[in-house]
Amino acid sequence: MPERPTRIAIIGAGPAGTATATLLARRGASVVILDDGKRPDLVVGESLIPLMVAAFRELGIEDEVKKFGTHKPGVTFTIDDDTEFMLSFQSVEGILPTYSYNVPRKDFDQLLLDTALNAGALMVRAQVRLEGPYPQGAEVRLGRETLDSIPGWDGAEPDLLIDASGRRRLTARLLQLKAATGPRTDVAHFAHYADCALPEPAGQVIISRLRHGWSWRIPLSGGRLSIGVVMNKDAAKTFGSTPEAQLEGVIDSEPRLHAAAARRRRVTPVATYANYQLISARASGPGWAAAGDAFGFVDPMLSPGLCMALESARMLAASIPAQGGLDAAAPARLRRYGRWFARSLRHWQDLVDYFYDGRIFSIYTAGREMSARRPGRPAEIIEGHISKNLAGMASGAYTSRAYSRWLVSVLALYAQRQKDPAAYVIR
């Protein structure tokens, strides 16, 4: 007798949910995605890192991403009038693809959903309400009405419920799991604009340090520019009481932003996000596991969000048998997955901290000055090695690599004696 397909119910048709669905459905599991269809047209998360290109190739979707995506060669950080730090993905040659993409989320999310449906996953429109906690068996369960709406399951319970509900964190909230919150209390506003000066080289993302907080400029297809500002909530209020007033006020008051967007025309509403730094105490329990933001999110700086959504999908799917339901070793594999996820987010947080507290820019300026004092081949080799490790970390391949993490910590200790990081802090 062939084994029956493992039944997987996934809450949320965001990237974490649909990528997990694709990987499991391709291996023959019976996968259903439950989504409430309440996704707004404008969703944050448009700047991607090179590790995601490797994931697109694995999913077989890079050609499709290319159709609506903008080729992204790297990121430029502008710190002040004298300090500009250009991170080129060319530095990760031999480790990862040397580019990534900027994408409008609506097209990107639809592509991932279509890929899951083509792989055999089913989609059910449902506003899921979880029940539990239960002391025995599955810790959380789908309501009877939701179970009955799943075609072909005859009302049976899933072998595993995957919470990919994003920042709504359905399981964590129901189980009242403790969450570690990050150090920042920022609010982020963003919108798409036309008639702006576009970054050079084409597709480059620009991150600028502002008097308060920082901004992103992400070039998208059709000549659109996504402009976002991230700042302390109290500082934001000094620009007005509405998200529109705050976003437009910051753009007008910051010379670098204003120069790029003096004749801007806003073509979308303004979207706002707050309280997003949150990591749950656990990523799985009896009968459930979480993927993507439903487990945790670090910070928009360096754009790790969608990468972790897809990486968590890959790691989670690899922990689940596609046939015969969950085996006896599955809970231990899911706990290992949770430890990997928490550790990866911690490493991203460490890297992000280097940018907020200015240490990365003190490494950069101290390095530049040293190369200028002693030009020549040895300096070029050292600079190339440092760039490769830094770009490798920011691209997702080396973020958790012990040597790269050690190298950056040593460089930071050396650099802070030459250039005080306090001069580059992002408030």
Ligand X SMILES: Cc1cc2nc3c(=O)[nH]c(=O)nc-3n(C[C@H](O)[C@H](O)[C@H](O)COP(=O)(O)OP(=O)(O)OC[C@H]3O[C@@H](n4cnc5c(N)ncnc54)[C@H](O)[C@@H]3O)c2cc1C
The yes or no reply on residue 166 touching ligand X (CB under 6 A) is yes
The yes or no reply on residue 199 touching ligand X (CB under 6 A) is no
Among the residue ranges 10-18, 69-77, 255-263, 368-376, the one whose residues contact ligand X (CB under 6 A): 10-18
* Terminal Cα-to-Cα distance of the chain (whole angstroms): 63
Number of residues that bind ligand X (CB under 6 A): 38
Nearer to ligand X, 168 or 346 (CB): 168
Residue choice 45, 203, 287, 367 for contact with ligand X (CB under 6 A): 45
Among the residue ranges 5-13, 241-249, 322-330, 407-415, the one whose residues contact ligand X (CB under 6 A): 5-13
The yes or no reply on residue 280 touching ligand X (CB under 6 A) is no
**For residues 78 and 330, what is the distance between their CA atoms, to the nearest angstrom?**
47
CB of 128 to ligand X, least distance (A): 4
CB of 338 to ligand X, least distance (A): 15
Residue whose entry in the numeric block shows the structure tokens 């801007």: 264
Nearer to ligand X, 48 or 95 (CB): 48
The yes or no reply on residue 128 touching ligand X (CB under 6 A) is yes
DSSP state of 232: E
The yes or no reply on residue 36 touching ligand X (CB under 6 A) is yes
Residue whose entry in the numeric block shows the structure tokens 């019976």: 30
CB-based contacts of 144: which residues, under 8 Å, 6+ apart?
Answer: 155
SS3 40: coil
CB of 229 to ligand X, least distance (A): 10
Nearer to ligand X, 45 or 338 (CB): 45
**For residues 415 and 402, what is the distance between their CA atoms, to the nearest angstrom?**
20
The yes or no reply on residue 139 touching ligand X (CB under 6 A) is no
Residue whose entry in the numeric block shows the structure tokens 């909530």: 233
The yes or no reply on residue 319 touching ligand X (CB under 6 A) is no
CB-based contacts of 346: which residues, under 8 Å, 6+ apart?
Answer: none
For the stretch 66-87, what's the b/e string if a residue is b when 16 or more beta carbons lie within 10 angstroms of its beta carbon? eebbbebbbbbbbbeeebebeb
Handedness of CA 101, 106, 107, 113 (dihedral sign): positive
The yes or no reply on residue 287 touching ligand X (CB under 6 A) is no
Residue choice 5, 292, 338, 392 for contact with ligand X (CB under 6 A): 292
CB of 171 to ligand X, least distance (A): 11
Which string of x and - marks every residue 248-277 that binds ligand X (by CB under 6 A)? Answer: -------------------------x--x-
**Residue 73 · residue 201 · CB < 8 Å:** yes
Q: Which of 398, 290, 399, 390 is nearest to 345 (CA)?
A: 399
CB of 274 to ligand X, least distance (A): 8
The yes or no reply on residue 39 touching ligand X (CB under 6 A) is yes
CB of 144 to ligand X, least distance (A): 16
CB of 101 to ligand X, least distance (A): 11
Among the residue ranges 258-266, 303-311, 362-370, 419-427, the one whose residues contact ligand X (CB under 6 A): 303-311
CB-based contacts of 15: which residues, under 8 Å, 6+ apart?
Answer: 108, 109, 112, 292, 306, 309, 310, 313
**For residues 135 and 280, what is the distance between their CA atoms, to the nearest angstrom?**
20
Distances (CA, A) of 245 to 117, 188, 264, 330: 41, 13, 15, 51
**Residue 218 · residue 199 · CB < 8 Å:** no
Among the residue ranges 73-81, 143-151, 166-174, 243-251, the one whose residues contact ligand X (CB under 6 A): 166-174
Residue choice 87, 164, 225, 231 for contact with ligand X (CB under 6 A): 164
In the region spanning residues 368 to 397, those forming contacts with ligand X, defined by CB under 6 A, are none
Residue whose entry in the numeric block shows the structure tokens 């999913």: 59
**For residues 93 and 204, what is the distance between their CA atoms, to the nearest angstrom?**
17
The yes or no reply on residue 203 touching ligand X (CB under 6 A) is no
In 3-state terms the chain splits into helix, strand, coil percentages (rounded to 5) of 45, 20, 35
Nearer to ligand X, 33 or 415 (CB): 33
Among the residue ranges 40-48, 134-142, 147-155, 387-395, the one whose residues contact ligand X (CB under 6 A): 40-48
For the stretch 189-217, what's the b/e string if a residue is b when 16 or more beta carbons lie within 10 angstroms of its beta carbon? bbbbbeebebbeeebbbbbbbbebbbbbb
The yes or no reply on residue 11 touching ligand X (CB under 6 A) is yes
Which string of x and - marks every residue 74-113 that binds ligand X (by CB under 6 A)? Answer: ----------------------------------------
Q: Which of 298, 279, 291, 280 is nearest to 337 (CA)?
A: 291
Residues forming contacts to ligand X in the complex (CB under 6 A) are 11-17, 34-36, 38-39, 44-48, 127-128, 164-168, 170, 188, 273, 276, 292-294, 297, 300, 303, 305-307, 309
